[in-house]
Chain A
Amino acid sequence: MLAERIIAALREIVSAQNVLFEANQVKAYDCDAYVAEKSLPSAVVFPESTDQVSRIVKLCNAESIPFLPRGAGTGLSGGATPRNNDLVISLARMDKLLAVDFDNQRAVVQPGFVNLVLTKKIAERGFYYAPDPSSQSVCTIGGNLAENAGGSHCLKYGVTTNHVVAAKVVLPSGEVVDFGQPFGDPVGYDLLGVIVGSEGTLGIATEITVKILKRQEAVKTVLAYFDHVDDASRTVSDIISSGIVPAAVEMMDQLMMQAVDKSHYHVGYPLDIEAVLLVEVDGLSAGVEDTARRIAGICKENHVRMVRTAKDDAERALWWSSRKMAFPAIGRISPDYLVQDGVIPRTKLTEVLRRIAELSREYGLRVANVFHAGDGNLHPLVCYDARIPGQREQAMKIGERILELCVDVGGSITGEHGVGLEKIEQMAYMFSAADLQAQRRLRDVFNPRDLCNSGKLIPQPARCAEFRDTQKSAAQHMNPTGRDIFREEECESC
């Protein structure tokens, strides 16, 4: 709980009805869509302008109050979870579309503006906003920027960082700066590139300029059922190595199909197939027809049981809803779930899935799989019941093992959900101490007092082993005299 004078100061900035501070009022802000770890915020404030955000941040600095930004709270890695009882700066009321320039294909939005709403607002003129995370109907563009969100169509169109061209950012000091520029490549250091995907640790974007794209003339969506996962994964590799660039290639396994078929978005997947592929191609009408036929051909070469294209927009929409609602549909078969976000080389898919199945058996917890197969981004969903003592821990343990597996086969621990709280331990598995130290140094430039979303993304050198490792490698790389320059980062647990 914050001191009364601080509450008064916050109210002064944003007005009384825009501050929540009673413990019971802020309970609903104790986590985002990653529910395994929770912590109460000290307060929640709802600013409505860049100036208000800046004043709040300055107040936090003056009073040494940890703070973090929050959009819709749909993040899956705990990025908006106030683990230090942080002050939550909700950007949900900064939800305006500030400008659209159709001729030059740019839109300027406030951070609380919802991803899909942008597409809806510009659809009439034939435009859309490309990054399409599954939560696009609710997640905000500010949150997308912080997490460098991806989505099904990023295979062809790229992730958020490829679509954000400029941003006004309130730095962790409260200073307001502009990064990037609406047109042309970045001049000077690409600081916008540093901000995008920084998970709210380097500042708070309050105005975001994005590219908007013209809709493609035609689109074809192909659904294919496979008896065996390895046939499906070989199909994915074959499609891409044939030179086709699909807009999206998605895969689900049997358990995932069962969950989504229980939701409103019932497709009616056969119960005895191991995998379903959803492949989309877009472009000029003539080419798209031909490409869809070639894809069906590749499926057939790989022993597909059934393959066909969507007969109309309604069917295409149903197939996509079935895929996009997959994560939460898991609630139909499990009270809690934890979703992982590992990336692997496409060719390792069969092997990694087999290992995941083994882990599932070893820990006695079901794991459903849904993934952006085209870019090797896996989303294993570990099913558990938090009411059963020990299950949550077991689920987190499987999650860790899966991420380590992804790293072992040459991949990474996150494709699009971010590190947040959830994967922070695995950062040390993926990166060397020197790598992490370089990242920490960058953070310290923007966020020297570590008040802004502290404890996310980059781990502190908390363990002695890593601490010594850090010292050693730093000494080797940067300080041949071996003088002890990192004494101030004493390990907490010693």
Chain B
Amino acid sequence: MANVIAAASAPELSSIETSVPELLSMTAEAPDADKYSACVHCGFCLEICPTYQESSDENQSPRGRVYLIKEAAEGRLPLDAAVIDPVFACLDCRACETVCPSGVQVGALIEEARGQVHAAQLPRGINRGLEKLVLRHIFPYPVRLYAIGFLLGLYQRSGVQRLARRLGFLRILPRHLQEMEAVLPAVKARPALQTLPPRMAAQGVRKATAALFTGCVMDVFFASINEATARVAVRNGLEVVVPKQQLCCGALQIHAGDRQQARELARQNIDAFLATGAEYVIINAAGCGAALKEYPELFRDDPEYHSKAEEFSGRVRDISELLVEVGFEAPTGRVDHVITYHDACHLCHAQNIRDQPRRILHSIPGLKVVEMQDSERCCGSAGIYNLTHPQMAGQLLERKMDDVPEGVSAIAMGNPGCMLQIRTGVHRRQQDIEVVHTVELLDMAYAEEAR
């Protein structure tokens, strides 16, 4: 059916405009009418929306976007730039869902609408070639992904990076990419998916078995956080298994509207993790965690995988969530830092995880936690948003950095995308602040005990 739609709508915009209603009744990717009908247009979401805060434009607000999605879905608006741009300019941060009294699932609607645009192959004003290369041809293939990671590591270690920086070769890149290049963490030679043993016995009495989801960005750039996650879980009575057949979670593809690709990834992940029989699936990346928990959304029209997805998603826990759920041992080792905590959108808004990371931080001796103003506002990372919408992402990063309290020596968070983005912010301001994952601090505190 997808082919039929593509054939009917590919040629030019005018034909798409007239065929939108028919197209929608045909396509499985049409936004769910029940989801947009839940919006009563009250506008309570406006002020919380980072893009509305920046633009004050109704089109760039959750209410506006849901309205445009509805009007397009019901054929009163053509599916053109006036709808597509706002839909793709959404950060998918879900802050609106936190405040929505009516319970509108704005994130899911945005993702469905992007799926609809993707299925209809409509232009949407960003570099699709690059995005397609990354999301279709690199992320789904661990070999290619890790090859890139390996090359990056080589680039950093061999001296080429130093040379390129000295000779100014990087100046041909746009500013945001230059900045990002400057803050890429030192890439490990091998990802944790390869270095971690397939099974690690629990320390002490076994509370449960947990299968570790290693992710892509996390494992390429922050393999050591995956290792720390495994150590911390084992230390707290969890037997940890690492299913080697796992793939990218598909979150980035879902955000970009490529639901077909996301479904393929999801099917394999569901099968690989259910086969382990583990009671829990551990994830330490907020964006991936939210996507894994929302797998059932992808299979609205596939009863078999819908029920498997329900079973799988029911087991997914963020590492902070799981530690608090099964009970974690307060460390006795000291970590001396004045720290502030940034709530990754996909932890606080998408998964309602706010208290657990803070409990972990407060349990660490020596750590002084200072709350950040508006800690739940998006930092602008938002998956690959900082690549597709660098200007808005840059504005939001500036605001985030303005909110970092004076005198902190580190910022903790639970998402690799935010870590890269906020590292860029720290670099931009030439600050002496470390950017860390919450679980790294706990791991450090446990390590200090031995000394």
Please list the 3 inter-chain residue pairs (A to B) with the smallest Cβ-Cβ separation, ordered nearest first: A331-B102, A24-B82, A92-B56
**When the two chains form their complex, are residues B101 and A328 in contact, meaning their CB atoms are under 8 A apart?**
yes
Grouping DSSP codes into helix (H, G, I), strand (E, B) and loop, the B interface class, with mixed when no group exceeds half, is loop
Chain B residue nearest to A331 (CB atoms) is B102
State the CA gap A433–B175 with chains docked (Å): 67
**When the two chains form their complex, are residues B43 and A112 in contact, meaning their CB atoms are under 8 A apart?**
no
State the CA gap A337–B80 with chains docked (Å): 30
Contact of A31 among B41, B46, B80 (CB under 8 A): B41
**When the two chains form their complex, are residues B37 and A335 in contact, meaning their CB atoms are under 8 A apart?**
yes
What residues of chain B lie closer than 8 Å to A28, measured between beta carbons? 58-59, 61, 63-64, 67-68
A95 at the interface (CB under 8 A from B): yes
Interface residues of B in 1-58 (CB under 8 A from A): 37-48, 56-58
A114 at the interface (CB under 8 A from B): yes
Q: List 7 A-B contacts (CB under 8 A).
A: A33-B40, A112-B56, A135-B44, A137-B48, A265-B101, A329-B101, A335-B38
With contacts A28-B59, A328-B102, A331-B103 taken as known, whether A137 is within 8 angstroms of B44 at the C-beta atoms is yes
What residues of chain B lie closer than 8 Å to A31, measured between beta carbons? 41
**When the two chains form their complex, are residues B38 and A137 in contact, meaning their CB atoms are under 8 A apart?**
no
**When the two chains form their complex, are residues B103 and A90 in contact, meaning their CB atoms are under 8 A apart?**
no
CB-based A-B contact count at 8 angstroms: 107
B83 at the interface (CB under 8 A from A): yes
State the CA gap A171–B79 with chains docked (Å): 40
Chain B contact-residue range equals 35 or more
**When the two chains form their complex, are residues A24 and B80 in contact, meaning their CB atoms are under 8 A apart?**
yes
What residues of chain A lie closer than 8 Å to B83, measured between beta carbons? 24
B183 at the interface (CB under 8 A from A): no
Binary CB contact string for chain A from 11 to 43 against chain B (1 if under 8 A, 0 otherwise) = 000000000101011011101110100000000
B78 at the interface (CB under 8 A from A): yes
**When the two chains form their complex, are residues B82 and A137 in contact, meaning their CB atoms are under 8 A apart?**
no
What residues of chain B lie closer than 8 Å to A263, measured between beta carbons? 101-103
With contacts A27-B67, A27-B68 taken as known, whether A33 is within 8 angstroms of B43 at the C-beta atoms is yes
B131 at the interface (CB under 8 A from A): no
What residues of chain B lie closer than 8 Å to A325, measured between beta carbons? 44, 101
Grouping DSSP codes into helix (H, G, I), strand (E, B) and loop, the A interface class, with mixed when no group exceeds half, is loop
Distance between A32 CB and nearest chain B CB, rounded to angstroms = 8
What residues of chain A lie closer than 8 Å to B102, measured between beta carbons? 263, 328-332
**When the two chains form their complex, are residues A262 and B103 in contact, meaning their CB atoms are under 8 A apart?**
yes
What residues of chain B lie closer than 8 Å to A264, measured between beta carbons? 98, 101, 103
A74 at the interface (CB under 8 A from B): yes
What residues of chain A lie closer than 8 Å to B45, measured between beta carbons? 138
**When the two chains form their complex, are residues A331 and B56 in contact, meaning their CB atoms are under 8 A apart?**
no
**When the two chains form their complex, are residues B43 and A73 in contact, meaning their CB atoms are under 8 A apart?**
yes
State the CA gap A117–B47 with chains docked (Å): 10
**When the two chains form their complex, are residues B68 and A332 in contact, meaning their CB atoms are under 8 A apart?**
no
**When the two chains form their complex, are residues B43 and A138 in contact, meaning their CB atoms are under 8 A apart?**
yes
Binary CB contact string for chain A from 100 to 117 against chain B (1 if under 8 A, 0 otherwise) = 000000000000101001
**When the two chains form their complex, are residues A24 and B77 in contact, meaning their CB atoms are under 8 A apart?**
yes
**When the two chains form their complex, are residues A73 and B58 in contact, meaning their CB atoms are under 8 A apart?**
yes
Chain A residue nearest to B52 (CB atoms) is A92
Interface residues of B in 382-415 (CB under 8 A from A): none
State the CA gap A264–B41 with chains docked (Å): 18
> Which of A20, A33, A72, A262 lies at the interface centre, i.e. has the most chain B CB atoms within 10 A of its CB?
A72
What residues of chain B lie closer than 8 Å to A95, measured between beta carbons? 56
A327 at the interface (CB under 8 A from B): yes
State the CA gap A2–B417 with chains docked (Å): 44
Chain A residue nearest to B59 (CB atoms) is A28
What residues of chain B lie closer than 8 Å to A29, measured between beta carbons? 58
Distance between B125 CB and nearest chain A CB, rounded to angstroms = 14
**When the two chains form their complex, are residues B59 and A33 in contact, meaning their CB atoms are under 8 A apart?**
no
State the CA gap A20–B102 with chains docked (Å): 29
**When the two chains form their complex, are residues A33 and B103 in contact, meaning their CB atoms are under 8 A apart?**
no
A226 at the interface (CB under 8 A from B): no
**When the two chains form their complex, are residues B40 and A330 in contact, meaning their CB atoms are under 8 A apart?**
yes
With contacts A27-B77, A28-B64, A263-B102 taken as known, whether A328 is within 8 angstroms of B40 at the C-beta atoms is yes
**When the two chains form their complex, are residues B82 and A22 in contact, meaning their CB atoms are under 8 A apart?**
yes
What residues of chain B lie closer than 8 Å to A24, measured between beta carbons? 77-78, 80-83
Chain B residue nearest to A75 (CB atoms) is B43
Chain B residue nearest to A30 (CB atoms) is B67
What residues of chain B lie closer than 8 Å to A260, measured between beta carbons? 101
A86 at the interface (CB under 8 A from B): no
Distance between B350 CB and nearest chain A CB, rounded to angstroms = 14
A336 at the interface (CB under 8 A from B): yes
Contact of B38 among A20, A46, A117, A332 (CB under 8 A): A332
**When the two chains form their complex, are residues B77 and A331 in contact, meaning their CB atoms are under 8 A apart?**
no
Interface residues of A in 51-108 (CB under 8 A from B): 72-74, 90, 92-93, 95
**11 more A-B residue pairs beyond the given contacts A24-B78, A325-B44, A331-B38, with a C-beta to C-beta distance below 8 A:** A22-B82, A27-B71, A90-B58, A114-B47, A137-B47, A137-B48, A138-B44, A264-B103, A329-B102, A335-B40, A337-B40
